[in-house]
């Protein structure tokens, strides 16, 4: 089946500090015209910090859309024109106070392809050294240290719900166990 849709008209309905929202007219493969609601996002990065003893660092922070604390790997938005790995290093440093000697490419995450164009770049970091946290002035979070097996249990029991965090942990584990992680080293 032909699936391609084309833009007839881009209609900007909101331009915020982070998000831009469109309500476009789009041409469907069968010739119909439909509205397509799109959230434009600058892109994100997520870094899973794995310590020498196999423990990982996650951050717990209040997520306003859910009105609850959410446990996530260190993450953030890309600044305009910023290289994803550089952004990952920046967020790791800011949120956990760590710098790393080794980075691994865990691919990208499309969080919800029906309406957002966000691409989240996933990395693992090893060879960690503490140099001191440096939070943004609207960031309030607590760093949590977990054994890898405890983090896996939390995914299986649905206590870790954040998709980038679950993807990063599960992919890291499988790539390591399959001997494929070294091929992802940056």
Site for its own copies in 84-103 (CB under 8 A): none
Among positions 160-179, residues that touch its own copies (CB under 8 A) are 161-164, 166-167, 170-171, 174-175, 178
Closest by CA to 59, choosing from 75, 36, 79, 42, is 75
Among 42, 82, 94, 108, binds its own copies (CB under 8 A): 108
Please state the separation of Cα 85 from the chain's center in Å.
12
- Residues 127-156, one symbol each (x = binds its own copies by CB under 8 A, - = not), give ----------xx-xxx---------x--xx
Binding residues with its own copies: total (CB under 8 A): 74
Q: Per rule CB under 8 A, is residue 113 in the interface with its own copies?
A: yes
Binding residue (CB under 8 A) for its own copies from 8, 25, 54, 107: 107
Q: Which residue lies nearer to its own copies by CB, 64 or 101? A: 64
CA 60 and chain centroid, separation: 14
Rg of the chain (C-alpha set):
19
Closest contact distance (angstroms) between CB of 52 and its own copies is 24
Distance (Å) of CA 183 to CA 45, 55, 168, 175 = 20, 22, 16, 9
Q: Scanning residues 26 to 85, which ones bind its own copies (CB under 8 A)?
A: 26, 28-30, 32, 34-41, 44, 60-66, 69-70, 72, 77
Of 126, 137, 171, nearest to 152 by C-alpha is: 171
What is the Cα–Cα distance from 141 to 71, expressed in whole angstroms? Answer: 10
């Amino acid at each position: 089946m032909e699936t391609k849709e084309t833009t007839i008209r881009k209609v900007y309905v909101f331009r915020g500090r982070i998000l831009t929202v469109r309500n476009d007219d789009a041409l469907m493969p069968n010739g119909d015209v439909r509205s397509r609601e799109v959230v434009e996002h600058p892109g994100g990065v997520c870094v899973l910090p794995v310590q020498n003893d196999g423990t990982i660092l996650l951050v717990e922070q209040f997520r306003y859309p859910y009105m609850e604390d959410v446990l996530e790997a260190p993450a953030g938005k890309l600044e305009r024109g910023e290289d994803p790995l550089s952004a990952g290093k920046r967020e790791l440093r800011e949120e956990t106070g760590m710098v790393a000697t080794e980075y691994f490419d865990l691919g990208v995450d499309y969080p919800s392809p029906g309406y957002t164009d966000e691409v989240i770049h996933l990395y693992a970091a090893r060879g960690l050294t503490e140099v001191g946290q440096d939070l943004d002035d609207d960031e309030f979070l607590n760093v949590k240290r977990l054994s890898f097996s405890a983090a896996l249990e939390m995914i299986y029991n649905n206590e870790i719900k954040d998709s980038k965090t679950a993807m990063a942990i599960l992919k890291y584990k499988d790539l390591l166990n399959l001997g494929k992680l070294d091929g992802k080293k940056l």
